Amino acid sequence: MDRRRIIKRVLLATVAVLALVTSATAVYATPAPQPSVDPRTDTAYKQAYVPCGYTYTNTTTGERTLVNPCDFPDLLELGRRLITGWIMAAVIIGTMGFAYAGYLYITAMGSEEKIKHAHSIFYKVVMGIVFMLSAWLIVKVFENTFLTPEQQERSFLKG
């Protein structure tokens, strides 16, 4: 198989995986429930990407009130949830990158150029994963610094 055909297949596989990851992230982002639901008690509001800024419509009077305005901890929560989605995607893409680099390394047959190319792919994948985990670490530090203990209990980063 020539090199262009391999690259086309890898790109097609990458697009397919990105489509799956995007759908998985969309499923993770729970849609906001109906406006008549009280956001103080409904768990779907707490699981949405932005768990704040919802209005509550009183069904008897029709009056709308802002129940939980957005503040700084909610911004941190949004960042944490977005980074979680990106980390899930990075693990899948990193695995594909390692597999492709390993394939290139195995099929190099002693060619210094192909081995260097495989090494460069290994290096780029490792650096990408380090970058993503650094972003996670930054969010973890901000979370521990700025969130209340009650908010930290709901975090998947706890521990």
| Segment 22-69, tens digit of pLDDT | 655 554 554 444 445 555 566 665 666 676 776 677 777 777 777 677
Q: Is residue 136 part of a domain?
A: yes
CA distance 99 to 153: 37
Range of the domain at 57: 32-70
Q: Is residue 159 part of a domain?
A: no
Q: Is residue 110 part of a domain?
A: yes
Per-residue model confidence (pLDDT) at position 1: 58
Q: 70 φ, ψ to 5°?
A: -75, 140
Tokens 């693990």 -> residue: 91
Q: Is residue 79 part of a domain?
A: yes
Per-residue model confidence (pLDDT) at position 25: 53
CA distance 147 to 74: 9
| 83 & 104 share domain | yes
> Which of 19, 52, 70 is the last residue in one of the domains?
70
Average pLDDT, the chain: 76
CA distance 127 to 125: 5
Q: What is the mean pLDDT of residues 105-115?
A: 91
User: How large a percentage of the chain has pLDDT more than 90?
Assistant: 17
Domain count within the chain:
2
Return the closest-CA partner of residue 99 out of 35, 34, 1, 9: 9
